[in-house]
Chains A and B, each alone.
Chain A
């Protein structure tokens, strides 16, 4: 449904998106995961033809968004992260306006709007001014607004930003249900790992304008951590710099250890085999006091953190 090849976008010197290749199939829920400023929104704007790519090509349902924006916009529903409505109109009026822009006849628009408002749970508030809506309600109205044109693809840019946890869960459930029921392709961008983990079939990890990896969560973790599948966290109390250096050196000497890093008193030891007990032994036999020890399984969190650290926009802080 969406095919991106060698896509790039520069703002002066800054490469917002750098040589991106991505294919999203029909009916998939794809999560675009990355920190703020990673180029997610820029990519989405290029998908919609709201920004011109500097290089590369985009095909949405076989159309080029820059050349045939209307064909693309007919088929793609887009929900920006902070969707705006005409505050002095009611939610229903806002929906009907969108429907009219899509040339849906009035009667049909009314019917569909009623149905969608019911689905997103806003029937009771349909006549209220959109300005009086809460953040969560606005976002749900936004979803109805996106769906009123019956698009085969919907693109959601940070859709859960600023909604309370309960609202987030309901919202995501709604998206997944709609996707499964109606076979809608969903592209969801977020920096909330857990939400992405919860709903997406496939995830693309986006850092510094590059897609570092994509696949489902399992594939992603095996791919990214083929060499370092285990991570041990050890907390050692009251240390000065010398201790830290010597401990780092000691951990390095444990067989199968690939890398050692630390934040404050917490060491992170990545290794190819489970070396938890070896780490504990090292700390204790050298007379330090161990106050935390845990073995980590790689979830999205770790995947994400790793890539934040290794070349993320915030630099190498760890």
Chain B
């Protein structure tokens, strides 16, 4: 452009410009019509040009449920609890990775940032362990009275005598809680990231950031599983206290007693040290069985998955024999590979959550709704 153009060049440039402008106009118009078509296809979600029309009842319920959650004391208390523990574990993580030794041993500098979520100096558990423990509580707290409180307050029969499908209620409750949980954990992860960034001054790599997002999604699914268990009990039991206690009992069993039980049984069946020396390979087999059994507990799945996602050097979740490790270079895995490793865990969690939801759906649809 710096040169003085002659007439021909000016006109050709003009022609190009006008044709480009026309192209842009046409593309814009196409985009607009496509967008309009897409919007028309979407369920009416209330925003933008559709505001004149009334909202779809489904989203009305979702809105209300979300508002209820956010206003409720229960949620605020749990939020405060989770935020507190997160900052606590962030603090211990910072303490531990502040020492150069930690940097050295944990090796890879490009994923240094992720240690914020997994490292600990021993005084408090790490971020992920805390979430493993508190996430279920959050899910249970949000779901245990989803249906039975409506039934007891007499709002259920009023709600269901409105022109809405019966499953809207259950779906909307589930979706609303999941949205709130997703929002919460996304915010929490980002805040932790931000704070960590302020303190240590090393930004996460794009791959590291992707891993964080995957971790958030995983957490949402994990909490979603507990939410669905709680909703199932809220459909089944009429008293909110009963359903809360049952859900907590299941949680305690799966997180505390189940692993103990499995280890006890495993110890009883495990070969003694003498045979261990003789039949090396079969030991890894029995180890594997124990691990597989432990993975029936969603907490185990979650911790497996978070470990793999946040510690890129982890390359297998089972025991590895010497010849499998031989020749391996201790490099971090790419994000995709890590996700492939946790894929079974992820699908397992999703399947468990879906199964719970399906069960509650089934019993809710066939329930007779009597006024209290």
Give the interface of A toward B (CB within 8 A).
41, 45, 48, 50-51, 69-71, 73-74, 76-78, 80-88, 97-98, 100-106, 142, 145, 149, 157
Contacts and interface: CB of A to CB of B under 8 A. Distances in A.
Given A84-B150, A86-B68, A86-B153, 11 more contacts: A70-B163, A71-B163, A73-B161, A73-B162, A73-B164, A78-B158, A80-B154, A82-B154, A83-B158, A84-B154, A85-B158
B368 A50 contact: yes
B371 A41 contact: yes
B256 interface: no
Contact of A101 (B52, B53, B61): B61
A157 B53 CA distance: 33
27 contacts: A50-B160, A69-B165, A69-B166, A70-B164, A73-B164, A74-B163, A76-B161, A78-B158, A80-B154, A81-B371, A82-B154, A84-B150, A84-B153, A85-B155, A86-B153, A86-B155, A88-B71, A100-B60, A101-B57, A102-B162, A103-B55, A103-B56, A103-B57, A105-B54, A145-B158, A149-B162, A157-B371
B369 interface: yes
Nearest to A70: B163
User: What are the 7 A-B residue pairs with the smallest beta carbon separation, nearest first?
Assistant: A84-B154, A80-B371, A78-B161, A84-B153, A103-B54, A84-B155, A74-B163
Given A80-B154, A84-B158, A86-B155, A97 B64 contact: yes
A88 B165 CA distance: 25
B372 interface: yes
Nearest to B164: A101
A101 B371 contact: no
B157 interface: yes
A80 B55 contact: no
Given A97-B60, A106-B54, A45 B369 contact: yes
A105 B46 CA distance: 11
Contacts of B164: 70, 73, 101
A78 B68 CA distance: 25
B238 to A, nearest CB: 15
A83 B166 CA distance: 19
Contacts of A50: 157, 160-161, 368-369
A262 B245 CA distance: 55
Contacts of A142: 158
A101 B370 contact: no
A113 to B, nearest CB: 14
A142 B369 CA distance: 18
Contacts of B60: 97, 100-101
Contacts of B52: 105
Nearest to A80: B371
A71 B163 CA distance: 7
A73 B369 CA distance: 14
B55 A100 contact: yes
A41 to B, nearest CB: 7
Given A104-B54, A105-B52, A106-B54, A48 B155 contact: no
B369 A100 contact: no
Contacts of B166: 69
Nearest to A73: B163
B153 A87 contact: yes
Contacts of B158: 78, 80, 83-85, 98, 142, 145
Interface in B141-183: 150, 153-166
A100 B54 contact: yes
A74 B155 CA distance: 18
A83 B54 contact: no
Given A105-B53, A106-B54, A82 B165 contact: no
Contacts of A98: 158, 162
Nearest to A52: B368
Interface string B121-151: 0000000000000000000000000000010
Contacts of A69: 165-166
Contacts of B150: 84
A278 B168 CA distance: 69
A200 B202 CA distance: 79
Nearest to A105: B54
Interface string B338-372: 00000000000000000000000000000011111
Contact of A70 (B157, B165, B372): B165
A106 B368 CA distance: 32
Nearest to A48: B161
Nearest to B157: A80
A36 to B, nearest CB: 14
A78 B163 CA distance: 11
Query: Among the interface residues A74, A77, A97, which one has the most CB atoms of the partner chain B within 10 A?
Result: A97
Query: Among the interface residues A84, A85, A104, A142, which one has the most CB atoms of the partner chain B within 10 A?
Result: A84
B170 to A, nearest CB: 15
A193 to B, nearest CB: 22
Given A50-B368, A80-B157, A100 B57 contact: yes
Contacts of B153: 84-87
Contacts of A80: 154, 157-158, 371
A41 B57 contact: no
A101 B56 CA distance: 8
A97 B162 CA distance: 11
Contacts of B154: 80, 82-84
A216 B165 CA distance: 37
Given A97-B60, A102-B162, A82 B368 contact: no
B116 to A, nearest CB: 38
A134 to B, nearest CB: 16
Contacts of B71: 88
B156 to A, nearest CB: 8
Nearest to A76: B161
Contacts of B61: 101
Contacts of B161: 48, 50, 73, 76-78
Contact of A41 (B156, B163, B165, B370): B370
